[in-house]
Structures are given as C-alpha cells and as structure tokens.
Chains A and B, each alone.
Chain A
C-alpha cells in the first residue's frame, strides 16, 4: 500500500506542530511537516532525502499531531523501503548485520554477553534454574564498560531487596527496538521471536529492563500475554514503598532529571523516576525548563547511535548539559543507557567534565544504599 493511504496523509492539515516540536528540526535538514505533504506527490523524491536518517523516533510529532496522524511511523516506513532497496548508510548496515550475526548492534561476542555479572551470583534461566522474574539486561548495558555499572547496580539492588530473578545469559538477544525503527522489520521479527521463545520457556511472570528502549519493545511490541513488563524505575519504586531498599547514605547533591523519550513521551512514565530520586535522603531535585512532555531528546534513539545524521552546530545533548550547568546542578540523572552515553559525551565535548556528572538513577540508588558496584 502507498504511504499516502497507509498513513492517511490527506488528513494532514500542514499545521506544523510536528516540525515545531521536532527535537532535530533546528539542527538538521529533517522537516517532517514537509515530508507529510511531499509524499502525496510521490515517494521517489522523498526517499532521496538523507535526512530520513536524522529522526530519533522520539515520537514528539505523533503525540502533538491534532489529527492523530503518525509522522514518526512514516519515517520508519520510509526507512523500511530503503532497507528493502539496500540503500542504507554504511554504519547502519554494520549495526544491522552485527545484530543478525552476534545478537547485538556492536558486533560484540555473544560468549561475553553475561560478563557484566561477574562476581554477582545471578541465575541463568536458560540453564534449568527457575525464577519468578527476568532481568532483561539489553545490549549496551551488557557490553559497554560504563553502562555495566548500571546493570550491576540494578542486579545488586534486586538482590539486596531479596527479589527472586534471573537472566537469559548469553542467550539474550537484542530487543530489536532500534532495529525496527531503522526500518528492518524482518530482523526485528526474528529477534522478537527468538527472545519470546526464551522468555516463555523460562516461565517467568514479570520482566524488568534496564533500558526504556527494551522496555518499549517488550511491553508494546512483543505481545507477551500474561507477563508484566516493567522499566526498572517502576519496579524499584515498588521496592522503595515496600521498605525493601533502605537508604543508608545521604546524597547531598543537586540533581536534575533528564526524561528519556522512550520512558516519558512514549510510555507516560514521568513521575516514578522523580519519586525515586526524591526518596534519596538529602538529594535536591531540580527541573529543566524543557522537561516531561517537552523534554529535549538526546538524539540517541531510533538508531541514531549508529548514524551521525546531517546535523550541524550544537548537539542537543550539548544544549542539555549546558542547561544543567546554568541550573547549577552537580548531577544530571537519567534512566536510559543511550541518554547516559550521549550526555556523558556532551560533557567531554563541552569541557564540563570537571563540573558535572551524568549518572543513571540506578547508580545513585546503589550509592545511597551503600552497595559496592565495581568489580
């Protein structure tokens, strides 16, 4: 079916709320309002636009559309056509092929996928052990040394709280959230089926994820009936309420929370991470002027971890850390591996490394709980 019919493009008013809210329209050639209209005159010309790869699939446009259209899904559909034609940026080809062969977009060895848990006794549910719940770690938190501090924090906090959980070990695959958004629907389906089979075999009743991206895929796109999927912030708030994570250390810090798009905009989880942060003794929580529904996307989603894009000038993540500096905070807290990496890179490029820190909420919790996360 033509995109015009599939996405009801004749219904578009050209009001411009999509482009007006687009976090990359100011710094790249992407103009989603224009694409929505140009597609009516033919797909061929639109498909020549390199800016199709600039979109972070943050979904702001779709949420703002007064006609209920889905501009962000139009981008995914355009990418899907390019994927079928094989006309894909080289760095994306590498990420897609690595995911197919190794189960993660960075092409890291499957054999090393569970190395992050070294020294922490975690059940492997693919090796005959049983648990109520599954911790779905995700690719980046499994392999990236910086992000392993986050996955280790999450596992240690759950152990401290006496939660019965396990992992899929080296059998865990990429969740496919970004793969689908890069337009590789076939590969996404393959990953989903492989993961679903392992999850159903394990017999778990609930799943906790590190990343809002895995959370989104597992919760909204896997069709896991009867299994509850939580982002760890939701799950930990429950533990806090039940008194299972008693904070030992105060954290006398000023903290601002950066909303990850796949947690906030896409899954409406704004308050829970903030409640968690407020629960930490002596921590002062501040707000960005652009927070919650109008939070500025870090540009790490929708596959942008593997495409530089046509962007010029200051990156959103750099704007974000400068805003945080102006607020006078010590720490930018987030709850997403991609946000953490992009914001931390921005600290380096803006020279703010000495003045500010970027931390995942899980790390701040483990500090307040007095947990030894390092190996």
Chain B
C-alpha cells in the first residue's frame, strides 16, 4: 500500500519562556530549538510500518522553508521513497486551509498514488487539528480523526478512535482515506545521525506556487490571527514567601483551613 504522510517542523517550547514578537501576532522564533511535531512522528512510524508490512511506497510531504527539510530527511532515513516540500516566498500568512490546499494540489498535480494519507492529530505549536480533515475534504476522501489503532484489510481499514471517558470507537473505512494519528499508536523508532547523514544528498522535490499552477490570490487564509498575548493574570493564586519552615507552616495552615487535612 502507498502511504502519504504529512509532516510539520515545530518549535520545542517545553522549557522556553515564549515572547510575542513585534507584530503582536506571532512569537519570537530566534534561537528556538525545532523538532518534528510529536503527533507526526507517530504518523511517520505508522506509515513506515504499513510499508514494511505490505510493500508499496511512502511519500513524505511538508509545507515550509528550507530548514523544514529536516523533518523530510528523517522520513527518508526511515525509508520513505520520496520527499516533497512546498513553499513560495509570496506565502506570508498561512492557516490550516492554506496548508491543506497546498498539500492537496501537490498530491493531485504530481498524481501521487496513495491508499492512505496520515497526518498527526494536531500540531504542537498552533494546535488547530484542522489540516487533516480539510485535506480529506479537498481530495473528496473519507477521514477519521484521533486514530489510535489501524488494522489493514483488503481495500478497507479497521480503525479505533479514542473518545472521551475512556471509550473507544471502532470503524471500518473504505480506502483511499485519511487518518489523523493519535500519539501512542506505536513506539516510534530512533533515527540515528548517521542514518540522516546517509540521505543528505537524496533529492527533495521543491514546489512553488507556479509549479502548482496556483495564483497567490487563490492561496489566501480563511483564518487571520488578530492578536497574540499572554492571558491576563487572574485572581486566586497566592505565592507564599519566607523561609522553608515559614512557607511550610503557612501551607499547613491553608490546608487545615480548607479542610484538606
């Protein structure tokens, strides 16, 4: 089976004090460390496993600048056959719709033959969780979100979705179809530095708007960020000050008053 996997490179901000940039609509990206979006890592591993099981090819796609090719190299090191990157200098504001539109045009124009498309459930930077569903709609194929198990059958796939309250939903889907992959579906393997270096010279196809026969006027976002800001400080939080003993005593007092102990 042929699998298309869509990847995104995102800043790893777990330990960073984020700052809003001068435009007030984005964050300061200077000096930020970047990684493959965690959910996409699971999608990539799942794509490679499907290929190893059934034969066929894996195509890795990303929308982004040259530095974003890092995530495609990772896919190539794992055995993806082809990697494509879409970017155009005219792209300024992009939203999930623009990304999905560029991906759908890339898939159609290059006539990439696919049985499944996998994306992560969401991206850990903006968290929209929209690219998968919009892409499926633009390609007129069925999609299932939050997939945490994928069982291949002939021309069909049995999938499980994770629902609220510990419930799971089982579905049968006709292929071709798109699935957004939940973290934990598999255990992604390690990709060594030597493995990545080995594919350093492998071709990555780069497509701009003219290659996709798109006019900049057609690639406009449907969502525009108005303002990015830290939420106002709320009430109810109290920071205890003093020595360790004083703090401990105050804390004990609060617990006793509140009926915790």
Interface of A toward B, CB cutoff 8 Å = 83-88, 90, 92-93, 96-97, 100-102, 107-112, 184-187, 189-190
List the A residue with the shortest CB-CB distance to B195.
Answer: A84
Q: Closest CB-CB distance, B143 to chain A, in whole Å?
A: 29
**Residues of B in contact with A (beta carbons under 8 Å apart):** 12, 14-16, 31, 33-35, 78, 187-197
Interface contact A86-B31, CB-CB below 8 Å: no
Residues A83 and B33 in contact, CB atoms below 8 Å apart: no
Determine the chain A residues whose CB is within 8 A of the CB of B190 once the complex forms.
83, 86-88, 92-93, 96-97
- Given A107-B15, A109-B15, CB of A185 within 8 Å of CB of B191: no
A111 to chain B, nearest CB (A): 7
Residues of A within 8 A of B33 (CB): 101-102, 110
User: Quick check: A186 and B194 within 8 Å, CB to CB?
Assistant: yes
A339: min CB distance to chain B, Å = 27
A88-B196 Cα distance, complex, nearest whole Å? 16
CB distance from A145 to the nearest CB of B (A): 14
CB of A112 within 8 A of CB of B15, answer yes
**Separation of A87 and B190 alpha carbons in the complex (Å):** 7
Nearest 6 pairs of A and B residues by beta carbon: A86-B189, A186-B193, A109-B15, A186-B194, A88-B190, A86-B190
Beta-carbon contact of A186 and B197 below 8 Å: yes
Within 8 Å CB of A92, what residues of B?
Answer: 190
Question: B33's closest neighbor in chain A, by CB?
Answer: A101
Given A90-B187, A101-B33: A186 and B15 interface contact (C-beta under 8 Å): no
- A189–B195 alpha-carbon span in the complex (Å): 14
CA A93 to CA B38, docked complex, whole Å: 13
Give the distance in Å from the alpha carbon of A189 to the alpha carbon of B31 in the complex. Answer: 23
Neighbouring B residues of A101 by C-beta, 8 Å: 12, 33-35
Taking each of B33, B78, B188, B189, which has the highest tally of chain A beta carbons within 10 Å of its own beta carbon? B33
* Neighbouring A residues of B192 by C-beta, 8 Å: 83-84, 86, 184, 186-187
Residues of B within 8 A of A185 (CB): 194
**Assembled-state Cα–Cα distance A184/B191 (Å):** 10
Main secondary structure of the interface of A (DSSP, over half): helix
Q: Which residues of A contact B14 (CB under 8 A)?
A: 107
CB distance from A136 to the nearest CB of B (A): 22
- What's the Cα separation between A184 and B193 when bound, in Å? 8
SS class of chain B's interface: helix, strand, loop or mixed?
Answer: loop
Task: For residue A239, give the distance in angstroms from its CB to the closest CB of chain B.
Answer: 35
Q: Which of B16, B35, B193 is within 8 Å of A190, CB to CB?
A: B193
With A101-B33, A102-B33, A111-B31 in contact, do A187 and B15 touch (Cβ < 8 Å)? no
Q: Report the minimal beta-carbon distance from A369 to chain B, rounded to whole angstroms.
A: 26
The closest CB in chain B to the CB of A112 belongs to B15
A102 to chain B, nearest CB (A): 6
CB distance from A86 to the nearest CB of B (A): 3
Question: Which of A85, A87, A186, A187 is the most central at the interface, judged by chain B CB atoms within 10 Å of its CB?
Answer: A186
18 A-B pairs with C-beta separation under 8 A: A83-B190, A83-B192, A85-B189, A86-B195, A90-B187, A92-B190, A96-B190, A101-B12, A102-B12, A102-B33, A107-B14, A110-B31, A112-B15, A185-B194, A186-B194, A186-B195, A186-B196, A189-B193
The CA of A87 and the CA of B187, in the complex, are separated in Å by 10
Q: How far is the CA of A92 from the CA of B187 in the complex (A)?
A: 13
What chain A residues lie within 8 Å of B189 (beta carbons)? Answer: 85-88, 93
A102 to B14, CA, bound (A): 11
Find chain A residues with CB under 8 A from B193 CB.
100, 184, 186-187, 189-190
Contact present for B197 and A108 (CB under 8 Å): no
**Distance from A139 Cβ to chain B, minimum over Cβ atoms (Å):** 14
Measured between beta carbons, the chain B residues less than 8 angstroms from A112 are: 15
Please give, as numbers and ranges, the residues of chain B lying within 8 Å of A88 by CB-CB distance. Answer: 189-190
Nearest neighbor of A106 in chain B, beta-carbon distance? B15
In the complex, the answer to whether B194 meets A84 with C-beta atoms within 8 Å is yes
A187 — nearest CB in chain B belongs to which residue? B193
- Report the minimal beta-carbon distance from A267 to chain B, rounded to whole angstroms: 27
- Give the residue name and chain of the A residue nearest to B187 (CB): A90
Q: Compute how far the CA of A147 lies from the CA of B178 in the bound complex, rounded to whole angstroms.
A: 49
Give the Cβ gap from A127 to chain B, nearest Cβ, in Å: 15
Nearest chain B residue, comparing its CB with the CB of A94 = B190
Residues of B within 8 A of A187 (CB): 192-193
CB of A228, distance to nearest CB on chain B (Å): 30
A90 to B183, CA, bound (A): 14
Q: Could you tell me the distance in whole angstroms from the C-beta of B51 to the nearest C-beta in chain A? A: 14
CB distance from B183 to the nearest CB of A (A): 13
Min distance, Cβ B38 to any Cβ of chain A, angstroms: 11
